[in-house]
């Protein structure tokens, strides 16, 4: 019997990729929050897959780490055991990245040779592979920024790395949804465009979340709903950097303030989407998407408040990042159900 194109195996392949990217983002969050990202200072695509296998190799890796600013300026009190702890998370993060590459490339080649992909899906899959390769490059580019003088990665590069991971996931999920729901339907363009704006604002908020993480801006103004000293906008928001605009992209207080304000905007926008949907005749999946959006944005807002109040414990920082991931998933699903 002839195998159909874009069959269930292709869908499972794409959804497996989504799950792996999710795991990658979670481990990446742990890597960042445990300050493990600069523990491996070189990049070896093949040989770097295995961690040091004996004490001699561990000592060599530790000696290499000692040559860079993070050890010299921050962690010169580290023992070999301390180094092993942070090494694990960065190594695990990189191994998952390699595994994702294999999971995407090998099945893609199989489906291509077996002629189980339609031309549109082939084009989308090639875009996915390019996104994955670009994501790997951004990871290397980000780590490189913390190996020169300042023992911390550029928050711009961190944001690019994280946001590309979220976008790669969303696009993979979208391609899978195209295959799960192949039939077309009439589109309410004004409502679809409203959800598009919601997605754009959510992505901007994710970028600012990465800025907060990259600048360690979650460890200040640990109060809510006001900032320090009971002020809606603390004066440090606009005096840390010069000129003024830099406060809102490079200043700790300014970046945290924008992240706080965008949280309200995201909540309001999703509430408006939910409210306006009440005047529409919805399918089961459209209703599911919008209801999940409303629930998840409430949970995510609460997680954000607790993360600030509790001064970013590692577990809560990771859960907050996971919340953003699920919220993006719900937004992607909802937009798809109102687009095709």
The per-residue pLDDT for range 185-236, each reduced to its tens digit, is 788 899 999 999 999 999 999 999 999 999 999 999 999 999 999 999 999 9
Confidence of residue 140 (pLDDT cuts 50, 70, 90): confident
Mind listing the pLDDT tens digit for each residue in 10-36?
999 999 999 999 999 999 989 888 888
Among residues 38, 27, 168, the alpha carbon closest in space to that of 89 is found at: 27
Residue pair 41/67 in contact by the 8 Å Cβ criterion: yes
Residue pair 325/169 in contact by the 8 Å Cβ criterion: yes
Percent of the chain at pLDDT above 90?
71
- Cα→Cα distances 89→39, 141, 184, 303, Å: 9, 18, 44, 24
Q: What tokens does 173 get?
A: 């999920």
Coil vs helix vs strand at 38: coil
Q: What tokens does 330 get?
A: 């719900």
| H-state helical runs in 7-154 | 8-33, 55-65, 69, 80-113, 119-144
Among residues 301, 291, 298, the alpha carbon closest in space to that of 330 is found at: 291
Query: Is pLDDT above 80 for 254?
Result: yes
Q: What tokens does 120 get?
A: 């549109």
Distance of alpha carbon 295 from alpha carbon 286, whole angstroms? 14
- pLDDT, position 47: 63
Average pLDDT over residues 308-326: 94
Distance of alpha carbon 44 from alpha carbon 156, whole angstroms? 24
Q: What tokens does 14 get?
A: 């794409």
Residue pair 222/307 in contact by the 8 Å Cβ criterion: no
Query: Is pLDDT above 90 for 248?
Result: yes
How far from each other are the two terminal CA atoms of the chain, in whole angstroms?
30
Percent of the chain at pLDDT above 70?
97
């Amino acid at each position: 019997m002839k195998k159909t194109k874009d069959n269930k195996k292709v869908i499972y392949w794409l959804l497996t990729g989504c799950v792996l990217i999710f795991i990658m983002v979670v481990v990446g969050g742990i890597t960042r929050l445990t300050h493990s990202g600069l523990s491996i200072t070189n990049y070896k695509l093949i040989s770097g897959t295995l961690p040091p296998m004996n004490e001699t190799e561990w000592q060599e890796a530790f000696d290499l780490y000692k040559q860079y600013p993070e050890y010299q300026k921050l962690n010169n009190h580290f023992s070999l055991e301390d180094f092993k702890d942070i090494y694990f998370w960065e190594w695990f993060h990189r191994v998952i990245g390699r595994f994702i590459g294999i999971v995407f490339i090998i099945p893609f080649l199989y489906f291509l040779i077996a002629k189980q992909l339609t031309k549109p899906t082939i084009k989308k899959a090639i875009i996915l592979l390019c996104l994955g390769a670009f994501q790997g490059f951004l990871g290397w580019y980000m780590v490189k920024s913390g190996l020169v003088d300042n023992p911390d990665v550029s928050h711009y590069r961190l944001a690019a790395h994280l946001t590309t991971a979220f976008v790669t996931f969303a696009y993979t999920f979208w391609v899978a949804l195209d295959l799960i729901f192949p039939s077309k339907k009439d589109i309410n363009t004004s409502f679809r465009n409203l959800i598009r704006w919601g997605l754009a604002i959510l992505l901007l908020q994710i970028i600012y979340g990465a800025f907060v993480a990259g600048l360690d801006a979650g460890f200040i103004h640990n109060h809510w709903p006001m900032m320090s000293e009971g002020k809606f906008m603390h004066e440090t928001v606009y005096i840390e950097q010069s000129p003024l605009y830099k406060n809102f992209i490079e200043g700790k207080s300014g970046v945290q303030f924008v992240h706080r304000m965008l949280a309200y905007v995201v909540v309001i926008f999703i509430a408006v989407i939910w409210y306006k949907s009440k005047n529409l005749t919805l399918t089961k999946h459209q209703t599911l998407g919008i209801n999940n959006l409303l629930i998840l944005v409430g949970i995510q807002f609460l997680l954000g408040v607790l993360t600030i109040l509790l001064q970013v414990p590692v577990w809560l920082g990771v859960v907050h990042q996971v919340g953003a991931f699920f919220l993006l998933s719900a937004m992607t699903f909802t937009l798809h159900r109102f687009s095709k």
